[in-house]
Amino acid sequence: MFKDKVVIVTGASSGIGAETALAFAREGANVVITYKENKAGADEIAAKINSLGVKPLIIQADLTIDSAAKNVIEQTMQEFGKIDILVNNAGRYIDGDEWNGDCEIWIKSLLQNLVSVMSVSKYAIEIFQQQKSGVIVSISSRYSTDGQYDALAYAAAKAGVANITQAYAKLLAPLGRANTVSPGAVNTGYWLRAPKEELEKNLANIPSGKLVEPREVAEKVLFLASDESLDMNGQNIFIDGSLK
């Protein structure tokens, strides 16, 4: 499905990003993995991709820094000569992001979860406009649709991700498209570390009775990046087990 396509997956050293990178590689894509700190995780995913017979490229980048975001695009072009798909996955919840939290934590969360997406997307879109083709899939969050007083800036940033991806959809049409996937509680990252009581409380609000698996999110990303979704642009797919 994606044979010889070039796909950038940001934040691909673990979790949803790692699963998405592997899923594209299994379909024959050349995958660019970006990571901020987890080099061991990025190396592990790259080794798995390499074993599938396709070419991985690892780039260390703090995407909150504009020059680093630009470098990701430039290195990808130098290595492969094109970019077909950008998956905006990088981002994370930061402890202390409550309604009465520290302003510095809010700013850090907005930088990591929203500004990073804006930075790498603007340079990718310049390439897409030159190529007259390109696809963006951004990872937002189900929590972006509700006020989250205990994850204030994170939820606001993820709402921003969905909003700017709709803007990118208008910008890229009709030559390209941009869509969003918004997972609920995913069985990775924060929820792997969460106290048992908090996890049980969260599960009680999910009619399906389970966390979303990274593989399930990756499947939706591949669908939105594929020709099977050519008629979809500016959409937001929720995958949350009917979270209340």
pLDDT in tens, 77-131: 999 999 999 999 999 989 999 999 999 999 999 999 999 999 999 999 999 999 9
For residue 30, what pLDDT is reported? 97
- Residue 18 pLDDT > 60: yes
The residues that bridge with 134 in the sheet, in sequence order, are: 176
3-state secondary structure string across 127-168: HHHHHCCEEEEEECCHHHHCCCCCCHHHHHHHHHHHHHHHHH
pLDDT 10s digits, 182-216: 998 777 766 667 676 776 666 666 677 677 789 99
pLDDT score, position 188: 78
Average pLDDT along the chain: 92
Q: What percent of the chain has pLDDT over 90?
A: 81
Residue located via tokens 């520290």: 102
Domain 6-239 has CATH 3.40.50.720: yes
Tens digit of each residue's pLDDT (9 = 90 or more) over 207-244: 776 777 899 999 999 999 999 999 999 999 998 755 54
Catalytically active residues, by annotation: 154
211 Cβ neighbours under 8 A, 6+ residues apart: 184, 185, 186, 187, 191, 203, 241
Residues of the chain with pLDDT > 70, as a percent, come to: 91
Model pLDDT, residue 194: 67
What is the pLDDT, as a whole number, of residue 200? 64
Plot region of 123 (φ>0 → left; ψ -120 to 50 → alpha; else → beta): alpha
**Residue 147 to residues 20, 165, 179, Cα–Cα distance (Å):** 28, 20, 22
Burial class from Cβ neighbours inside 10 Å (0-12, 13-18, 19+) for residue 186 reads buried
Residue 24: band (very low, low, confident or very high) from pLDDT cuts 50, 70, 90:
very high
